[in-house]
Structure formats: C-alpha cells, structure tokens
Amino acid sequence: MPIWPDKAPDAVPITGPEVTTTVQNPGDPPATFVGRVSRPTMTVYSPKGKNTGAAVAVFPGGGYWVLYMDLEGSDVCDWLTSKGITCVLLKYRVPGEHLSPRSGAYPKSPVALEDAQRTVGLVRFHAAEWGIDPHKIGVLGFSAGGHLVAAVSTHFKQRLYRAVDAADKESCRPDFGVALYPGHMLENTSQEFELNPYVPVTRQTPPMFLLQAEDDPIDTVKNSLVYYAALKKVGVPVEMHLYAHGGHGFGLRRTKSPITEWPQLVERWLETIGITSE
C-alpha cells in the first residue's frame, strides 16, 4: 500500500520509471533490486501461526540508490512471520542513480528518513487492526537500511515533514532496532573515531542489536563499533556481534561463514528484551 495519501513530501524528479533488475553471482541464488523509486509503499506480512504481537519494519539496503527487495527484504519477512512477528517491508524512495545528487543518507537527502518515520507511525496507527502491540514495534535494516534504522531511532521527536493525517500523530520512535552491516555511521569529515553527528544518540534511543563482519569490504566495521560506543556511553541497551569473516550483503542467504547464523542471535535477543517472550 502507498504510505502517503497524496504526493510524498520533498519529492524530486527521477529520470525514468521505476525499474527492477535481477542479478546473480556464480554459485549464488538470484537477487532482485529496484531503483528509481518515487512512490514509496509498504507490504504487510502477517504472522504464520502464533502471533507474538511484535512487529518489525524492514529497510532493505542498496546504498540509498537501489533496494535489494528480496535478499534484504521479503526473505527477512518470511523468517520473521514464521516466528510469529508481523513484518512490514518498506520500499522507500531511492533515485536508482549511483552518486546522484538526489541520493544519499540524511541530511543529504531527507526522503528515506521521511518514509521510515511515516511507516513506523502507520504501523502504530494500525496496531489494533493488524494484531500488533503498539509497544513492540521495531525496525531492522541492512547496509544503508542499517543506517536508516539508526536514523529513525534517533530522529523521532520531530518529523521531517508536516503531518498529513492521524497516523502522523502517533509516535514514530521504534521500540527496538536491528542494524546489520550498517554504513554512514562514521563522521565523514574526521579521521578520528567519531559518530556521524546526524545520528544524535541519546538515552531515549531504543535498544539496539548490531552485527557486522570484520572483513566487510563495503562498510568498515568501525561503523558498528562507533555506534556501539555511543549507545554504551549514554546507557542504551545494546548487543553487538562481530565476526572475522562474512563480507557484505549476505542477508539471510546461507554461507559457509559462522555469521550466517545471525537470525538465531536476533531471535534470542528479542526474547531477552521482552519483545517475543511470554
């Protein structure tokens, strides 16, 4: 369903219609990404069997220029719904052009964060209708989507756009977050180990789960480390798992690396923080 009733805020021209592309590396299953997204939508996946009352909004990665909608999206929803968790897959706005002036993390471009804020509010607004506990709504994302998890978890007191309906009166603060091999967490203008100032961590930032491989060739492991340090400094509950091997962009697809067992770690963490426990 479209997340905006009318035209999305801060809309910018995109060169051409939305496009879907499938790629496949030798020996790997195919992966599909979508680009030139100007009309953001969310797809709601209901729990299979028992409903825990928890919900997770999923943000696929793709460098803020495309979205890997199956590898880091629908695959995740199949897993979460099998665990009794409602899943909401967000197709947020991306230009589909690498290094486009319309792409990038907030504040270079506000549109992805606006879409994330709107989605968390919508899920909370529809909580009763969808069988969700409004106090058990989290976010999960990969790579750029992992950064979006951090962004919406630290930008919730004020939305970036003017309210459009009753859903925007609901809180857009997630109750927990899962950031997997996140990017954009380091201060780009500094050679020091400093958190991106546009991820303003406070004591109100929700509990967080972080995971990354030390041999990640795309986003250095310092992205997770600097976020972890900032969360610990202000007393936000955080669990971090670092693995020697695993690379980047593995999603839920099985690999030979031990990091491939990460979904079980998330399941246990959700139990320990009271999201899926009895």
For residues 240 and 62, what is the distance between their CA atoms, to the nearest angstrom? 22
Mean pLDDT of 190-201: 87
Question: Is a pLDDT exceeding 90 seen at residue 190?
Answer: no
Token pair in block for residue 119: 């989605």
Please give the sequence-ordered ranges of beta strands (E in DSSP) within 8-116, or none if there are none.
19-23, 31-35, 41-45, 55-59, 66-68, 86-91
The DSSP symbol for 195 reads: B
Q: What is the mean pLDDT of residues 210-214?
A: 98
Residues in a beta bridge with 186: 195
Determine the average pLDDT of the residues in 199-214. Answer: 98
Q: Is the pLDDT of residue 257 over 90?
A: yes
Phi (first) and psi of residue 187, to 5 degrees: -70, 115
For the stretch 219-225, contacts whose Cβ atoms lie closer than 8 Å and that sit 24 or more positions apart, written own/partner, are 219/143, 219/181, 219/182, 219/183, 219/184, 219/248, 220/186, 222/185, 222/186, 222/193, 223/181, 223/182, 223/183, 223/184, 223/185, 223/186, 224/179, 224/181, 224/182, 224/185, 225/193
- Across the chain, mean pLDDT equals 94
Q: What is the DSSP letter of 44?
A: E
Quick: pLDDT tens for 121-174.
Answer: 999 999 999 999 999 999 999 999 999 999 999 999 999 999 999 999 999 999
Tell me which amino acid residue 128 is.
Answer: A
When mean pLDDT is compared across 21-35, 47-61, 174-188, 215-229, the lowest value belongs to 21-35
- Does the pLDDT at position 28 exceed 80? no
Give the three-class secondary structure for 26.
coil
Residue 241 contacts residue 248 (beta carbons within 8 Å): no
Looking at residue 97, what is its pLDDT? Answer: 81
Entry pTM: 0.96
- Using CB atoms within 10 A of its CB, is residue 164 exposed (0-12), middle (13-18) or buried (19+)? middle
Indicate the class that CATH gives domain 22-272: alpha beta
